[in-house]
Amino acid sequence: MKSSAQLSRLAESSIGITEYISETPGIKGSMKYRFSDFIVREVAMDKTVVCLTDMSGKLEGAPAQEVAEEGVDGFEKLESLVGKEVAARVKTLVEQDEVDGAAEIVLEADADKAHRTAVHTCIKQHFPKLTTDTVKVGSDQKTAVRIFSKVDNSKGRPNKRQRREAIFQGAKRDAKFIKFVLYKENLDTMAAVSIISKMVKTKGGTFSYAGTKDRRACTTQLVSAHRVDPFVLTDLNKRLRNICIGNLSVCEQTLKLGQLYGNRFQIILRDVQASEGSIEALCNSLKEKGFINYFGKQRFGTSSIPTYSIGREILHEDWEKAADLILCPRDGEKEESKTAREKFKEHKDPAKALEEFPRWMFAERTLLDVYKKRGMNSHLNALQALPRNLRLMYIHSYQSYIWNKMVSERLRMYGKDRPVEGDLVLESKDVESESLFDLEGVDESTLSGANASEEQESDHDKWTKSHPKKVKVLAASDVDKYSIFDVVLPLPGVSISYPTNEIGKKYEEALKADGLDINNLANKNKEFTLSGDYRKILSQAEDFSWETIDYKNPKGDLQATDLEKIKGSSDEDVRRAADKEAAADAKARRALKLSFTLRSSTYATMCVRELLKEYVEEAACGLSFEEKPGESE
């Protein structure tokens, strides 16, 4: 029997997802039974797949700290300044990080400033491992030079300031950032970065990344940090849970949203019930004909109230109804959340509600806080208090809802094989720009409190406005010059062109049915004005391959994560172990492993949907793997 959470999930048809490319019946199976069944590795702009391979703390691009070569000349010069005995003690300090049980040598009081300066200069030029300052000694508080190791003996390495100076001053002149590979399990990117920023005691905006990865997965991606101590980052691995940091390097520029080629996926479908022939036919069709580039269900939230309905009321400028949809009771939530919503609906006391709403309900608590301070009629003020990314997500969700409905109409009316007169194509080979809201795994709960990404989205908006896409309306004579993979459909907005065939009329009708005018989508509040965009109707998986795996243990791993590979395992080892168990069991299960690369802004779940067909809703129940026995958060 399905849980209330499963029953409350949006049906695909309710968000416009209705069509398939292939006519072959689908594969029955379970998706994301374990989060290790869904591995996502970022693909950088140079098409390099980002993997976690080194957690030693080694820093690429940092200056070499050559201590052994400080050499004879340095000691001879120091001896001439401080004498043979002191020079010998300094040599011991260099070699052992301490002398006579201490990590410093205080020289005799020296009233000659020029002589003290010469000592300082000698140490600085010839002994990178050491540093100097001056201290007051004796009852008469005379000045003396102190020589001490940059190494903090209690921890065995330079202090924070010294390390940072050594790294960034010795590297390339413009190097200001540390870049590292972030590996995470069962955690979204924003949450992982928030945890890291708190542990290194810096602001979330210190960290930047190209895209947000799915929570219910094992993922790797690049993250950049502005002048953060790499040794501190590496040390976090001892304390972090479900997060690892590695492959550190010094770089000159921060990462920006959309600065990636795409993502490499390895996905396991368990308990597959299909013949080899069906699997072969479906996978070959997916490889050759691609899949419909729908916005996935995560785009519309995970509760019974879809985010597009909130966006629609914002576009209507009905601030009260939009806020009410965020706060009102809904099916499928935790009992604590459900009770808090129901109580607020009865008493309408924001101060009392703030005591009742759990702290994880960030968006709701933000609205209530404004109501408490400014009164229960401050609906627009309450919405504007939400993080910018969350505010925009609601209206972008509505755009996606309309786009999904229109792409289904286009494929039903004109087929899935070729362009037709009146279709739109991009004039240039523009790469579809990545938005925070196009990313797999980003939903309402993810963006709640996502202040760390506010500036990233602002950069994306600026780039989009300065690089508007231009489209061409196909005439009958143009149709044979393009393929179905060139056809785009618009996300409705201002300054957007629409198809001149029947699909253009369908857009107008759909918006009118929702009380909106296709020719007047500007909002009095500019932040809620739809800017519009274009999206290809079909997409293809690159480097697509598949294999079947026989296994016995339903809770056993069927592929190796990057963390397991560092520990010495491999995909081949995992496969052999599964095969060995299955060989001894006549009732062995079968899994299908899929490997492919998708360009940014494309949903892997929509790619896999082309294989699952009518079983997609059943397979999606595997998304709630927390409810499976034996699994933990």
* Rounded CA separation 536/9 (Å): 26
Q: Is 115 helix (H, G, I), strand (E, B) or coil?
A: helix
- Is 210 found in the same domain as 152? no
Counting every residue, how long is the chain? Answer: 633
Asked if the structure places residue 340 within a domain, the reply is yes
SS (H, E, C) 263-300: EEEEEEEEEEECCHHHHHHHHHHHHHHCEECCCCHHHH
pLDDT of residue 529: 81
How crowded is residue 593: how many other Cβ atoms within 10 Å of its Cβ? Answer: 18
- Is 392 found in the same domain as 519? yes
Asked if the structure places residue 259 within a domain, the reply is no
Domain containing residue 409: 388-430+469-536
- Is 187 found in the same domain as 47? yes
pTM (global) more than 0.85: no
CATH number of the structural domain spanning residue 235: 3.30.70.3160
pLDDT of residue 291: 97
Whole-number Cα distances in Å, 382 to 25, 317, 344, 394, 398: 48, 13, 16, 14, 20
Backbone angles phi, psi at 547, to 5 degrees: -155, 150
Asked if the structure places residue 267 within a domain, the reply is no
- Is 507 found in the same domain as 424? yes
CATH number of the structural domain spanning residue 102: 3.30.1370.50
Final residue before a domain boundary, out of 133, 158, 183: 158
* Rounded CA separation 446/464 (Å): 23
pLDDT of residue 575: 81
pLDDT of residue 19: 95
- Is 201 found in the same domain as 308? no
In this structure, are residues 607 and 600 in contact, taking their beta carbons and an 8 Å threshold?
A: no
- Is 575 found in the same domain as 623? yes
CATH number of the structural domain spanning residue 492: 3.30.2350.20
- Is 192 found in the same domain as 339? no
Q: Is 443 a catalytic residue?
A: no
pLDDT of residue 453: 42
CATH number of the structural domain spanning residue 362: 1.10.1510.30
Asked if the structure places residue 166 within a domain, the reply is no
| Dihedral angle computed from the Cα positions of residues 361, 362, 363 and 369, in that order, rounded to the nearest 10 degrees | 110
Percent of the chain with pLDDT over 90: 47
- Is 579 found in the same domain as 507? no
- Is 422 found in the same domain as 500? yes
- Is 57 found in the same domain as 121? no
Final residue before a domain boundary, out of 487, 520, 536: 536
Per-residue pLDDT tens digits for 509-545? 999 999 999 988 887 788 888 788 999 999 999 999 9
Asked if the structure places residue 244 within a domain, the reply is yes
Asked if the structure places residue 342 within a domain, the reply is yes
Q: Which of 37, 188, 214, 562 is catalytic?
A: 214
Final residue before a domain boundary, out of 503, 536, 569: 536
pLDDT of residue 430: 52
Asked if the structure places residue 464 within a domain, the reply is no
Q: Is 147 helix (H, G, I), strand (E, B) or coil?
A: strand
Low-confidence ranges of the chain (pLDDT < 50): 1-8, 64-71, 153-157, 168-174, 434, 436-439, 441, 448-458, 460, 623-633
The DSSP result for 374-414, as a single string, is: H-TT-HHHHHHTS-HHHHHHHHHHHHHHHHHHHHHHHHHHH
In 3D space, the residue among 354, 442, 365 whose CA is nearest the CA of residue 396 turns out to be 442
- Is 114 found in the same domain as 74? yes
- Is 411 found in the same domain as 368? no
Residue type, 373: K
In this structure, are residues 292 and 21 in contact, taking their beta carbons and an 8 Å threshold?
A: yes
Structural domain total, the chain: 5
Asked if the structure places residue 58 within a domain, the reply is yes
